[in-house]
Structure 1
Amino acid sequence: MTMMKTARIHEFGDASVIRHEAVPRPRPAFGEVLVQVAATSFNPTEAALRAGMLQAFLPVVLPYALGWDVAGTVTEIGAGVEEFVVGDRVIGRLDGGGGAAEYVRAPAALLVAAPTSVPLVNAAALPVAGLTAWQAVFEHGKVAAGQRVLVNGAGGGVGGFVTQLAAYAGAEVIATASSRSTEVVLRQGADHVIDYTAGPVGAALDGPVDTLLNLVPLSRPDATALAPVVRPGGRIISIATPIEPSADSGVSAVHMVARNDVAHLAALVELVDAAALTIDISASRPLADLADVHRLGESGRTRGKVVLIP
């Protein structure tokens, strides 16, 4: 029996519950491929899953192998798969986890060809964060040329993609970030950057915005204070704390959860290969450091995306 390394949890708790174990290498079933993992990436939501905070609406069975993002090379093809051949470089979002391993068995229908213009390791940062950004900007936010858009939390992994996609759509992008992220956020297409550590974001704005894209957890008072920055008839999209506008404002509000959509992921890959979208990798770490990366993410001190290499 051929074994492989993987990172799993057997119980919910802090980052110390992450175990690195040897398990049998899987074989692809019908409609699946076996992927040799080049990298996975850290997503803050996985830390919440690890802590048991998502069981109410995203229940998982323990032991659970971490890693929703995957980038790698197809090494074995299951019956019924015609989309890929051995040697293809692929990326995907694995809703059942398992990307934090040397190999992962994945449904072929959830994978797309990896971008050719960036290292395969870096491409692991694209699926979860990129899909969230795409759906926030285009599907829910309906961002278009000429609009003013506020990206609250532009320095994070999702925020970098949101900033770039909103700029790509032709919007005037106002981004909030700390001073350590300002240069990167400007390079990603923000027209203005507000240092959220310097005071209330609303007070720093020069007039209302058409769309607020909120990517960070907020206290209830902070969420309430942010809602009035949107003009009457505008939109609020939040992937974190729900933000409720006043009933008479005419502002629509959506608290969204991104879904897996390979058409959207393929469109993101096209933008990467067209040099219209960059992947901001702040660190590449060995998979053995996964617990430390979880701790760093929970501290709020990460910027961009962190990829983990088996």
Structure 2
Amino acid sequence: MGVTVGFRDGAGRAIGAAIGRPVRWEEEPTEEARARLLGLGWPVSAVDGMLRDLAEPGPATGTVEEVTGVPASTFETWASEHAADFLGTMRAARIHEYGDASVISLDEVPVPKPGPGEVLVRVAATSFNPSEVGLRMGLLRDVLGTTLPHTLGWDVAGTVVTGAGDLAPGDRVIGLVDGAAAEYAVAEASLLARAPERIPLADAAAVPVAGLTAWQAVFEHARIGYGSRVLINGAGGGVGLFAVQLAKHAGAYVVATAGPRSAAAVRALGADEVVDYTTTPLPGGNDVLINLVADVPASVTRLAKEFVSITRPIEHPRAVRFVARNDPGQLTELVALIDKGVVHVKVDARPLESLADLHRAAERGLIRGKVTVKVEA
């Protein structure tokens, strides 16, 4: 069809760079191209005229700006701006019905198209959050307004493919979005934060949900400051590992509960005392107790003056239960602490194909720390 080798190879490289995939250019015989375009409903005159011009291009009749009214751009810029149009389908971990972990399937679905103010993100990783077990079982359908089929995943870490707002193609970002357990996800540009530089991009998927929950527990609800004594119940989980570090950063004396498998990690992140909850009663005399576990004994009300819970409510006049909200500003502050080395991110990485097994392990109480789910090979 008259496409020069140089243009063909350059175009393939540009499109491949834009979508993050290798691209192979294949020539299509003229008659096959004509039959395909006519089959799509194109007028005969338009098809024949386009094919004739491609085979025997005539002399230029003016500059790009003279013809179109806008300045010329590069093919690389055009490919970047239209990257989503070159992507066909992707893998996504979805549920088509509520039930046990067997309802999770890896489907081949169309790549989503970003709307105004949105970016398309090539996902490096998402992460597992225990509340996703409840979503999968249908326990959160009224709270979240979930419709089926539904793509799992709330945490996203990835690379911008098509930009918007302050984000450009190639930017590394993290955020809290629906449908992150897929090769591509769409998100409002204003709701994303730039990813930490200090850690691998896939590891940064551990930060949004767990990090924001810990941030809001420590600084907004517990209002921890220098000299506070805080008991973090469930410090070995994903939220707990962030909460320990943020409470120490705020100047608190941190008492943390953790089982034998998590105690060393919690201590390494700065806890002043680590209590093995399987053998030792929880200590009292605390200014505030941050509860991160599902089972809350009534006796905890004797252990502190104030209480913050992210699971069940604690029956006490000075207790609050909350659900974390998305806050890109706080996420940006947390990223800054990670890049300064104040907050460390510890993850256990699993492949997307193991997501159903991960749900099963969580239901048996076998998950410790923060688990990320790698999407990008």
So what's the TM-score if we normalise by structure 2? 0.75
SS at match of 1:139: helix
**In 2: Cα distance, 1:26 partner to 1:49 partner:** 22
Q: Could you report, residue by residue, the CA deviation over 1:125-158 in whole angstroms, capped at 9, with x for unpaired residues? A: 0000000000000000000110110000000000
Contact residue 221 and residue 308 of structure 2 kept, 8 A: yes
Number of the residue aligned with 1:264: 330
Q: What RMSD over aligned residues (CA atoms) do the two structures have, in Å? A: 1.1
**In 2: Cα distance, 1:297 partner to 1:306 partner:** 11
Number of the residue aligned with 2:149: 63
1:242 equivalenced with 2:323 (yes/no): no
1:7 equivalenced with 2:93 (yes/no): yes
Q: CA deviation at 1:83?
A: 0.9
Number of the residue aligned with 1:301: 366
Q: CA deviation at 1:295?
A: 1.2
1:90-105 counterparts in 2 under 5 A? 90-94=173-177, 97-105=178-186
**In 2: Cα distance, 1:303 partner to 1:254 partner:** 25
Q: Could you report, residue by residue, the CA deviation over 1:154-191 in whole angstroms, capped at 9, with x for unpaired residues? A: 00000000111111111000000001111110111100
Number of the residue aligned with 2:29: none
Q: Give the letter for the 1:83 counterpart.
A: D
**In 1: Cα distance, 2:315 partner to 2:227 partner:** 25
Q: Say which one has the larger Rg.
A: 2
**In 2: Cα distance, 1:267 partner to 1:50 partner:** 31
1:160 equivalenced with 2:241 (yes/no): yes
**In 2: Cα distance, 1:296 partner to 1:280 partner:** 19
Q: Give the letter for the 2:285 counterpart.
A: P
1:228 equivalenced with 2:302 (yes/no): yes
Contact residue 104 and residue 356 of structure 2 kept, 8 A: yes
1:83 equivalenced with 2:175 (yes/no): no
Which shifted more, 127-136 or 45-54? Answer: 45-54
**In 2: Cα distance, 1:105 partner to 1:56 partner:** 23
State which of 248, 251, 256 in structure 2 corresponds to 1:175. 256
Which shifted more, 145-154 or 288-297? Answer: 288-297
**In 1: Cα distance, 2:310 partner to 2:150 partner:** 24
**In 2: Cα distance, 1:47 partner to 1:280 partner:** 22
Q: CA deviation at 1:100?
A: 0.3
Q: CA deviation at 1:64?
A: 0.6
**In 2: Cα distance, 1:52 partner to 1:200 partner:** 35
Number of the residue aligned with 1:248: none
1:122 equivalenced with 2:187 (yes/no): no
Task: Work out the percentage of aligned pairs sharing the same amino acid.
Answer: 53
Contact residue 165 and residue 190 of structure 2 kept, 8 A: no
SS at match of 2:197: coil
Contact residue 259 and residue 278 of structure 2 kept, 8 A: yes
Larger RCO (CA under 8 A, 6+ residues apart): 1
- After TM superposition, the runs of 4+ consecutive aligned structure 1 residues lying more than 6 A away are none
Q: CA deviation at 1:56?
A: 3.0
- Of Structure 1 and Structure 2, the greater strand share is in 1
**In 2: Cα distance, 1:49 partner to 1:193 partner:** 32
Q: Give the letter for the 1:156 counterpart.
A: G
- Of Structure 1 and Structure 2, the greater helix share is in 2
State which of 277, 294, 298 in structure 2 corresponds to 1:217. 294
SS at match of 2:170: coil
Number of the residue aligned with 1:280: 346
